[in-house]
Structure 1
Amino acid sequence: MSTRPGRTSAQPPQRTDARLNRERLLATAQEVFAEAGPEASLNEIARRAGVGPGTLYRHFPNRSALLTAVLRDRIETLCETAEELLSAESADDALAQWLHGFLAHARLNKGMGGALMIEEPAALGIDCHQLILHSAAALLSRAQQQGTARADLSADDVIRLVVGIALSTARTEDPGQPDRLLALVLDAAHRPPQGSA
């Protein structure tokens, strides 16, 4: 009877199960919050994730902890995407693609993520505003270096414009309006051709 090997091999699966449960809860919470908003039922999230409420509360002791984890996960994903887009051939396309993703993120959170980044940058335990700003600055700077983006435009300008679009279209009945407004921002961000009046 080998007690030691049994104990050694029993510990990693527990950690793996806990990690998988947490990931499943986070993914499910993103879906449910997107459907029903931040006041969605936590019991419904646990049910859809295939775990009991006790498992949910072990990972996320309250609604705020779960919302924070969801927002933090989305922000980290946005920053990773920006990092990948820095190697794209077209700096303009990379900036546009990332800003579309950022707009979707801010709208999905019904403006909550955008408002937190501007009003309470430390609310998630990380400086969300700085993380987002750093990602936007890297992509914008690359477009400016290629000479296709206005030199007088700052990353903070762009972020505030996109957050403004998210907040102002939170209840729009026109599903195409957010993308049209972002297209106007992107158009304004382009550097005027040399010699134009």
Structure 2
Amino acid sequence: MNRDSAKSAAAPRLRARLKEATGEAIRVAAEEVLGEQGFGARMEDIAARAGVSVGTLYNHFKDREALLLELLRVRREQLLERVDTLVGEVDGRAVGEQLRALLGLVLDHFREHSRFFALVLQSELHRGPALPRQRTTLTELSTRVEVVLQRGVAAGQVRREGAEFHATLLVGMLRGLLLRVAETQRGDELQRGADELLRLFLKGIEV
């Protein structure tokens, strides 16, 4: 390959990287502004926070709903990628240790994006603006929790009776905790609540 052809091949890759970097800058700015102003945040304010023109913002996202949908999708995929890695790493440990590590990772993700996720949860709690319909993060998380719990059943650490409901129950308890924290804005209660949640859950399912 000569120098000119190498340059031609590199140019699209560079443009793609720049486009993704700009898209992430917009998503970070949108997360911050939405967390501060709510779902009515102006696209102009998001563009200013991201350091791009309004035209550039609309080149990436046709409207505020498209931006919100993309932000939800990306943050969900980031979490699930981390969860999938963790589920592989903790295989072979006691089921309680696996679940504690899994919940810890989810709580870390919630803290990293707390203002945005609190807005989403509060909207759900108070029947706020309808969010785009999609497969939710908690639904996806349930499938990963199910993998860990089935390991526990196979290892004789988790009772088989009612095992088909265990993942749904745990994730439902987690959702309730996150809703409480979002409603009360008492982030300091998050870890203590998660510890109590896991203690009660394990007491109910362990052999």
How far, CA to CA, are the matches of 1:98 and 1:42 in structure 2? Answer: 35
Q: 1:95: which partner in 2?
A: 99
TM-score normalised per structure 2: 0.71
The structure that is helix-richer by fraction is: 2
Answer yes or no: is 1:187 the counterpart of 2:199. yes
Given residue 157 of structure 1, which amino acid in structure 2 is its aligned partner?
L
Q: Are the structure 2 counterparts of residues 80 and 36 from structure 1 closer, same or farther at C-alpha, using a change threshold of 3 Å?
A: same
- Does residue 1:15 correspond to 2:16, yes or no? yes
Task: State how many pairs are aligned.
Answer: 188
Question: CA-atom RMSD, angstroms?
Answer: 3.4
Work out whether residues 136 and 155 of structure 1, in 8 Å CA contact, stay in contact via their aligned partners in 2.
yes
How many Å apart are 1:163 and its aligned residue? 1.0
Partner residue of 1:123 out of 133, 136, 142: 133
Q: More displaced, 57-66 or 171-180?
A: 171-180
Query: What is the CA distance between 1:43 and its match in structure 2?
Result: 2.1
**Which position in structure 2 is the counterpart of 1:141?**
150
Within 5 Å, which residues of 2 pair with 1:1-197? 5=5, 9-86=10-87, 87-88=89-90, 89-103=93-107, 105=110, 108=115, 109-110=117-118, 112=120, 115=124, 123-124=133-134, 126=135, 128=137, 130-149=139-158, 151=160, 152=162, 154-172=166-184, 174-191=186-203
Assess, with a 3 A threshold, how the Cα gap between structure 1 residues 100 and 30 changes in structure 2: closer, same or farther: farther
SS in 2 for 1:171: helix
Unaligned 5+ runs, structure 2: none
Q: 1:155 deviation in Å?
A: 0.9
* C-alpha contact (below 8 Å) 2:121/2:182 kept by paired residues: no
Decide whether the 8 Å contact of 1:29 with 1:45 is kept in 2: yes
Gaps of 5+ in 1: none
Deviation at 1:157, TM superposition (A): 0.7
Shift of 1:191: 4.3
Q: TM-score, normalised by structure 1?
A: 0.74
Task: Give, in angstroms, the shift of residue 81 of structure 1.
Answer: 1.8
Identity of aligned residues (%): 25
Partner of 2:182, secondary structure, is coil
Greater shift, 160-169 or 9-18, is seen at 9-18
Matched-pair contact (CA < 8 Å) for 1:107–1:166: no
